[in-house]
Structure 1
């Protein structure tokens, strides 16, 4: 029985049809997407622009605008000069940078090694996973955590801002799931060539896992940079305050009280000082993301090659 050529052509066209998400959108749908994404971008950009503009505005324009400025007519850096000439701001930036960099590196090391070890077929993997998942349901209490850090002598220490956050169960679960999807043939071939577990991890698994490492690293970095509650609980020495504690003092206590407490000369409008602290706390983490975005793309392309 001979199959008509028209039937064969229809079947070939149906089998070769691209997925829906790869098809070119219609002009109407493309216009809707453009308008929606444009409005979404505006909703994000305008608050950031208001914060930056307010930090650069003078007192007269702030009074006329009611406290918030969309665009400064006479921009001034007086608020930033007042903050950066204070004795604690540079120390706070140094503390936050140290906590973020060191904490992220330690957290990535702990998470990567635990995720890789439990992704292999070993006897101790299941109890470890159960214990980690248990922490997702039952977080440690505030008082036991404080008593433990006091017993360890970590109060008024920068390590009290790092050690409590070096492991997150959610990041562990995400990274372990990614490691388990790596082709087992690659690991088995490396084992046949005599590679150790450390060599397999650092030379095979991690180069294929740049995407998840970048994502988890960004999660940890943002968490360490934005964390202020641990400093509020464990740090009494002002010299060890991170930037977020200074930002909290300006937002909650008011610019005049916070400036007096931090030794900052108030030569700028209080609202400008408050917004300047927000900008200083926001800029470093915003500068970090473009570098990680490059690794996101490279990691996804590399990790997508399956043997």
Structure 2
């Protein structure tokens, strides 16, 4: 009868250290999330005084009411969704074909192109040349200034290329070509349906990056109506403002329970963070299975 392998003292110590590490990592991630949620629905006096350190104190929804009444928040939400969807589609359209082409051994000059791509990981023209290029192309103050300059990440191309090399059998491609399948049809009809894990990983990487991006908008956009949500959030966090112009300004007098504008700004700040984070938190569990699978496969045979 098989009784299993007896663990040595070193194995038990290693296992205990692993559990301790995982528990500490859980606390590091769990506490800030719970704190932000609690702070967004707590009395700002309790938050400012340190009385609220984990669970809510003096529950109030004034912060969320002010956020949902603010038109700048909803305009930023709409802009961010558009930038994220369009930007991620462009990212995948550029990254996946480039990675697949570089994974093909019969692609003449693939080492040269891969070398040129990798140079850009270490050297770039800098902010001023990029700004001048965007300006000369007439993309200033438009969505294209946000999504096109970051159309591809070389690191993501390398990860995708590794996935194609390690997961797509060469014999499958050869059999399709013998049957008269063109390269374009091979890619869209055979390769992509077999590459859902890496597509999900790239969509998640690019999607989260586009959702959280604000620096490009800060540089290239000069109309508040085109600001993404993260730029609106930055104004609240850094400048402690909430819709400085137009109908989006908050009516502070309606918040009778608050003692000062600073307390209102602090309450709204946490509420906006939660509102801005919810979409990513909601989408991630549906992509987690593909995410883990794609990263693990793409990390082998590099």
Q: Shorter-chain TM-score: which interval? A: 0.7 to 0.9
1:291 aligns with 2:276: no
Residue in structure 1 matched with residue 261 of structure 2 by the alignment? none
Deviations 1:216-243 (A, max 9, x none): 2211111111111101100110011111
Q: CA deviation at 1:37?
A: 1.4
Q: Is 1:138 the counterpart of 2:133 in the alignment?
A: no
Please, which of 73, 76, 100 is the counterpart of residue 84 of structure 2?
Answer: 100
Q: Residue 123 of structure 1 aligns to a residue in which SS?
A: coil
Report the Cα offset of residue 128 of structure 1: 2.4
Partner residue in 2 for 1:4: none
Which whole-Å deviations, capped at 9, do the CAs of 1:154-193 have from their partners, x for residues lacking one?
1111221111111111111111122122221111011111
Q: Counterparts in 2 of 1:98-247, with a 5 A limit? A: 98-120=82-104, 121-181=106-166, 182-247=168-233
Which residue does the alignment assign to 1:40?
Answer: 25
* TM-score normalized by the length of structure 1: 0.82
Structure 2 distance, partners of 1:298, 1:36, is 23
Q: Which residue of 1 aligns with 2:235?
A: 249
Q: When the two structures are superposed, what TM-score results if normalisation uses the length of structure 2? A: 0.83
Secondary structure of 1:154 counterpart = coil
Alpha carbon RMSD of aligned pairs, Å? 2.6
- Bigger drift between 93-102 and 287-296 goes to 287-296
| Cα displacement (A) at 1:195 | 1.3
How far apart are residue 82 of structure 1 and its match? Answer: 0.5
The superposition leaves residues 80-139 of structure 1 with CA deviations (integer Å, 9 ceiling, x where unpaired) of 110121121101001111111111111011111111122221224333222211211212
Which of 53, 74, 77 is equivalent to 1:90? 74
Counterpart CA distance in 2 for 1:93 and 1:53 is 23
Contact persistence 1:96–1:243 (CA under 8 A): yes
